[in-house]
């Protein structure tokens, strides 16, 4: 009898954990399509390596052709980091990454679509190397956006 009670308690606890985990929506980046337009400047997103986006709490994706457009949009809407999930394309690997954990390199040598002149990289060491090659600087997401974590 005691074993049965203990088993039921374990099942109830496991079910609670599972229900809680399933109720939290995991936000992932939405792929860039050829017809996508920048949510800020309304230009076509033609060069994926400069693209960025955020997914709001309702799950709607806002895509940008330039990291500067993402920053400008966030400032114009007075957004905070907690308002959305932030993503960027890694400039070198061309894979999505969490922009909040990215190293952002800004350099006048980058010719980005709207002259934001910033690119994201997933690893700080690669960012430092690129910044050295392009006479740029490395920043965090919070520094770029002027947002407290």
The domain limits of the chain are 29-145
Mean per-residue pLDDT of the chain = 85
Per-residue pLDDT, 136: 97
What are residue 62's DSSP bridge partners?
54
Q: What is the pLDDT of residues 20-54, one digit of tens each?
A: 445 467 889 999 999 999 999 999 999 999 999 99
Q: How confident is the model at residue 14 (pLDDT cuts 50, 70, 90)?
A: low
Nearest alpha-carbon partner for 116 in 60, 54, 53, 72: 72
56 with 84: CB under 8 angstroms? Answer: yes
Q: What's the token pair of residue 143? A: 């520094």
In percent, the amount of the chain with pLDDT more than 70 equals 82
Q: Up-side HSE of residue 50: CA atoms within 13 Å toward CB?
A: 24
**Cα–Cα distance, 82 to 133 (Å, whole number):** 33
Nearest alpha-carbon partner for 79 in 64, 65, 93: 64
Residue 58 has pLDDT above 50, yes or no: yes
CA dist 28 → 25, 120, 124, 145 (Å): 9, 17, 22, 21
**Cα–Cα distance, 27 to 143 (Å, whole number):** 23
The more confidently predicted of residues 50 and 7 is: 50
Mean pLDDT of all residues in 117-121: 97
Question: pTM of the entire structure?
Answer: 0.79
């Amino acid at each position: 009898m005691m074993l049965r009670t203990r088993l039921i308690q374990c099942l109830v606890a496991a079910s609670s954990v599972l229900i809680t985990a399933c109720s939290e929506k995991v936000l992932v980046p939405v792929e860039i399509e050829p017809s996508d337009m920048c949510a800020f400047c309304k230009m076509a997103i033609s060069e994926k390596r400069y693209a960025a986006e955020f997914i709001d709490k309702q799950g709607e994706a806002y895509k940008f052709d330039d990291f500067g457009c993402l920053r400008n949009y966030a400032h114009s809407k007075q957004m905070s980091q907690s308002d959305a999930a932030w993503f960027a394309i890694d400039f070198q690997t061309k894979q999505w990454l969490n922009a909040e954990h990215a190293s952002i390199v800004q350099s006048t040598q980058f010719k980005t679509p709207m002259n934001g002149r910033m690119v994201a990289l997933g690893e700080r060491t690669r960012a430092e190397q690129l910044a050295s090659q392009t006479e740029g600087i490395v920043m965090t997401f919070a520094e770029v956006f002027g947002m407290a974590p």
